Chains A and B, each alone.
Chain A
Amino acid sequence: MNEQVDRVQCARHPGGVLVTVARLNRKVLARLLVDTGAAITVVVPRTAARLGLPLDKPHRMMVIGTAHTARTSPIPIFKLDCLQIGDVEVTNLEVGVVDFPSRLRIDGALGINFLARFRPTFEFDTARLILRPLSGDLGRSLS
């Protein structure tokens, strides 16, 4: 097991939320909100287009419920080859595609299906996300 601890420097935005720059499929860099309330990592349609994901041919559909509406809705799910944050990379990661408000110009949210592959802790005062490896090494350290 790799015991390396990765300290990811994020940016702190209004309300204290943390936003990190992720590398998707080793070619596209995107700003993702770190979101422990999201079961699955999501990207906005613009980011899906940047990745060339075929929105009419998803890997599967998933019904989601969000905090701001009483309704649930199905969203398309795709598998990314890889998503890298800091020095760690997770492969075969499912991501959903959802709309954010147009004034919210971030590219998606980093959810539990990424974070739970580590033992994450948050340092809100320094805007750092600390990722410690789990036994079994589901994520991969690149350094």
Chain B
Amino acid sequence: MMSMNEYPELTIEEIEKRWLDEWVLIEVTRMEDHQVVAGRVIGHGPDQEVDYLVSQELTLHQQRPEAETYLFWTSEPIPEDMVVVL
């Protein structure tokens, strides 16, 4: 298993460019004005792999409870052709 320092630290902008239309799990390393700015990428993948990313996140929290994590979709989370009425 890679040590945490071996995971690349990238900005959110870099992550969104590199893995467009994917789920990305990061350990948050930098926030500014309560916005996530950068993190270490733990994993990424399409919808079908999001459960695996959740299991990776739970494992990370077991190993390091102090870690803050963010699992997010890299493009628009609400499709342009959809209007939300919950």
User: Using a CB–CB distance below 8 Å, which chain A residues touch chain B?
Assistant: 8-9, 13-15, 17, 19, 21, 23, 26-31, 33, 35, 37-38, 46, 49-50, 52, 66-68, 85-87, 100-106, 109
Is A33 in contact with B86, judged by CB distance below 8 angstroms?
A: yes
Supposing A23-B68, A27-B65, A103-B79 touch, asked if A50 and B57 sit within 8 A by C-beta, the answer is: yes
Give Cα A23–Cα B86 distance, bound, in whole angstroms.
Answer: 22
Give Cα A13–Cα B58 distance, bound, in whole angstroms.
Answer: 29
Supposing A14-B78, A14-B82, A15-B84 touch, asked if A31 and B72 sit within 8 A by C-beta, the answer is: yes
Is B35 in contact with A67, judged by CB distance below 8 angstroms?
A: no
Q: List 25 A-B contacts (CB under 8 A).
A: A13-B76, A14-B83, A14-B84, A17-B84, A19-B77, A23-B68, A28-B70, A29-B36, A29-B68, A31-B77, A33-B86, A37-B86, A46-B51, A49-B54, A50-B71, A52-B61, A67-B86, A68-B85, A86-B34, A100-B86, A104-B79, A104-B82, A105-B23, A105-B77, A105-B78
**Is B13 an interface position by the 8 A CB rule?**
no
Supposing A19-B77, A29-B68 touch, asked if A50 and B86 sit within 8 A by C-beta, the answer is: no
Supposing A35-B86, A106-B78 touch, asked if A21 and B61 sit within 8 A by C-beta, the answer is: no
Is B77 in contact with A27, judged by CB distance below 8 angstroms?
A: no
User: Using a CB–CB distance below 8 Å, which chain B residues touch chain A?
Assistant: 23, 28, 33-36, 47, 50-51, 54, 57-58, 61, 65, 67-73, 76-80, 82-86
Is B50 in contact with A27, judged by CB distance below 8 angstroms?
A: no
Supposing A15-B83, A29-B68, A50-B54 touch, asked if A21 and B35 sit within 8 A by C-beta, the answer is: yes
Please name all residues of chain A whose beta carbon is closer than 8 Å to the beta carbon of B80 when the two chains form the complex: 14
Please name all residues of chain B whose beta carbon is closer than 8 Å to the beta carbon of A14 when the two chains form the complex: 76, 78-80, 82-84
Supposing A9-B35, A15-B84, A21-B34 touch, asked if A105 and B73 sit within 8 A by C-beta, the answer is: yes
The distance from the CB of A93 to the nearest CB of chain B, in whole angstroms, is 18
Give Cα A86–Cα B77 distance, bound, in whole angstroms.
Answer: 20
